[in-house]
Structure 1
Amino acid sequence: MLIFIIRRLVSGVTVLVALCCVTFFLLYYSGSNIAQNILGEFATSDQIAAKEHELGLDQPLIVRMLNWFGGALHGDLGTSWFTNEPVTQSLLSRLPVTLALIVTATIGIAILASGFGIAAAVKRGGVDRLLQTGAVVGQAIPEFVFAIILVTVFAIGLGWFPATGSIAPGAGGAAWIASLALPVIALVINGLTSTAQQIRSAVIGELERDYVRTLRSRGTPEPVILFKHVMRSAAPAGLTVLSLHFIGMLGGVVIIEQIFALPGMGALAVQSTTLGDTPLVMGVVVYTVVIVIIVNLLVDLANGWLNPKVRVS
């Protein structure tokens, strides 16, 4: 198990370094004049040259990249070129909002999709057809469409929830719940039926196996067969789909945060990329990739615990 974890971490760090290098090159060749953007359109050429020297933009690309990696290895991701705020501080002030949104939505999808998927696999009939139809509709309609509908009906029309996020430093639990309710519901609706369909297929596959028939022939109660044996074997497929949804929401949540004006990582990523704020963009990339690595590692460990064959592979 330890070797398995080390291999996963090494591969994750390799991906992180590669993505950081690619991002650095793309930002360098974006063609935007960072010093001009910071000083404004009326800045003189001398002022621009002085600003470029201050930021190290006059140095070769490889030198700038090595300097950044040297600071990152010591936990220093630099300072934003536009706000002069430490990158780590900017990210840590936005990360809780995004993680609260995504983690809550993932938990909601896991609970509801498991219920619907198991019901469709066991009952079949109308429940199964409803799930199949919902899966097609859910995949065809983006989450921001559900978000706009929810805002229009429940925020603007009925006034049950705030139309925009009211999360601020020191905000209480009620403010968090009210601000995240509609975004979470939009994300859950979008990912619910497709996840439930995967769980349904996995459960049906397990119900058709020989060990299930053997357990039934021995008189084992159906609930015990379903929840103790079948669900344990079908769980890895569900966990894999949930991890993919979680990773997908890290990128897809950008539009949701814009619609609800939530101060999360998505809005920060869009803003920093638009401005060409290299230290902040690199910080967003690092934090996002680290989260993906951690999620994939946890899913692999959970799958290994549920299915010993995964540990051997």
Structure 2
Amino acid sequence: MTPYIVRRLASGILLVWIVLTLIFLAIHAIPGDPAYQLAGGDSGVTKEGLEHIRNGLGLDKPFLVQYGDYLGGVVTGNLGTSFSTGQKVTAAIGSRLPITLELISCAAVLSIIIGLPFGAWAARRRGWRDSVLSGVTSIALAVPVYVFGAVMVLLFAVTWHVLPAGGLPPFGAGPGAHIERLIMPVVTLSLAFLAIIARMTRASVGETLRQDWVRTATSIGYRPNVVFRDHVVRNSLNPVITVIGLEIGTFLGSSVIIERVFNLPGLSSLLIDGVTSRDYPVVQGVVIVISVLFVVINLIVDIVYGLLDPRTRQR
């Protein structure tokens, strides 16, 4: 197992380097002069003033030197300084990232603990249960997250006054208020993910149940519940884990809308603010963090593959 993990880590590091390089090239390909934007877009700014700003940003250095400084800053945790606030980008991300990770983690856990059993149950029982699963998950996938979030705010916050509409106080300031304000964002974000997991689990378990070895195990005396729980479900998990890994990565994109709808001070809202103000260091830093998180999530999925299926390690 150790050589397999080492190989996956090596490929993950290579992929992170490629992603970082692409981000650097993309940021430098954006039209416009960062120094001019930092000067406020004032046409009256002098040429000497622009050169002074470029010198402070390191934009007057050769391209490869800038690239080396960029990689060195990423490795040491120095992602630059925000153009608009003057705050260190690392500090800004550090204050926002826990909120986004908490939102994504809670939504992922909720989706998995409901979607997996629901999908396996529907695949085993079939009949009307399968029809109910298909109908509910189709509706969940058809409704955009921002529509569902707006409806939840309208019903639970505005009409019934059951839950607060938005905001997220620190957990230490009041655990009850923190959890209460997290309910609607988590449910909204997890709805489509739950539906995808349930449908994928249903399809994978249903296919496994049709295998000859399942009928053989039951016919020679193994209890059906044991065969289903210990063998069928486990052998059906690989495609489900693939979907889980990919969808958790897409959570980072969906959370942009959720954080806006529910006014959460997370990482995604920081990215939108940076794009709006053309704050290149902030945009670059947030994209780096999101990309690295996506690579790490998929690396964890690969390692879980190896734990569940020895054939994966051998290949």
TM (normalized to structure 2)? 0.92
Match of 1:78 in 2: 80
Residue in structure 2 matched with residue 141 of structure 1 by the alignment? 143
Give the secondary structure class of the aligned counterpart of 1:220.
coil
2: distance between equivalents of 1:288 and 1:7? 23
Query: What are the Cα deviations for residues 78-107 of structure 1, in whole angstroms up to 9, with x where unaligned?
Result: 222222222221111111111111111111
Tell me the distance in 2 between the aligned counterparts of 1:212 and 1:160.
48
Counterpart for residue 53 of structure 1? 55
Confirm whether residue 159 of structure 1 aligns to residue 161 of structure 2: yes
Asked if 1:251 corresponds to 2:253, the answer is yes
Contact 2:168-2:265 within 8 A present in 1 as well: no
Q: Kindly tell me: are residues 60 and 156 of structure 1, through their superposed partners in 2, closer, same or farther at Cα, counting changes over 3 Å? A: farther
CA contact (8 A) 1:167 1:263 kept: no
Query: What's the counterpart of residue 124 of structure 2?
Result: 122
Aligned to 2:106: 104
Q: Deviations over 1:92-135 (max 9, x none)?
A: 11111111111111111111111210121111111111222233
SS at match of 1:294: helix
Distance (whole Å) between structure 2 residues aligned to residue 210 and residue 130 of structure 1? 28
Partner residue in 2 for 1:304:
306
Structure 2 CA distance for aligned equivalents of residues 201 and 312 of structure 1: 26
**Count of aligned pairs:** 313
- Identity among equivalent pairs (%): 35
Indicate if the aligned counterparts of 1:27 and 1:276 stay in contact, CA closer than 8 A: no
Aligned to 1:187: 189
1:289 to 268, 288, 291: 291
Q: Which residue of 1 aligns with 2:17?
A: 17
Task: Supply the distance in 2 between the matched residues of 1:171 and 1:30 (Cα, whole angstroms).
Answer: 41
- Which residue in the other structure is 2:27 paired with? 27
Q: Which has the higher mean CA deviation after the structures are superposed, 281-290 or 234-243?
A: 281-290
Instruction: State the Cα deviation string for residues 262-309 of structure 1 (Å, max 9, x = none).
Output: 011111112223333232222222222222222212222222212111
Tell whether the 8 Å contact from 1:77 to 1:283 is kept in structure 2 after alignment: yes
The residue number in structure 1 matching 2:4 is 4
Q: Which runs of 5+ in 2 are unaligned?
A: none
**Offset of residue 203 of structure 1:** 0.8
| One-letter code aligned to 1:40 | G
RMSD of the alignment, in Å? 1.9
Shift in Å at residue 209 of structure 1? Answer: 1.5
- 1:140-184 CA-to-partner distances (Å, cap 9, x unmatched) read 222111111111111111121111123348433223212211011
Contact 1:150/1:182 (<8 A) preserved: yes
Distance between the aligned counterparts of 1:10 and 1:275, measured in 2? 37
SS in 1 for 2:236: helix
2:40 aligned residue: 40
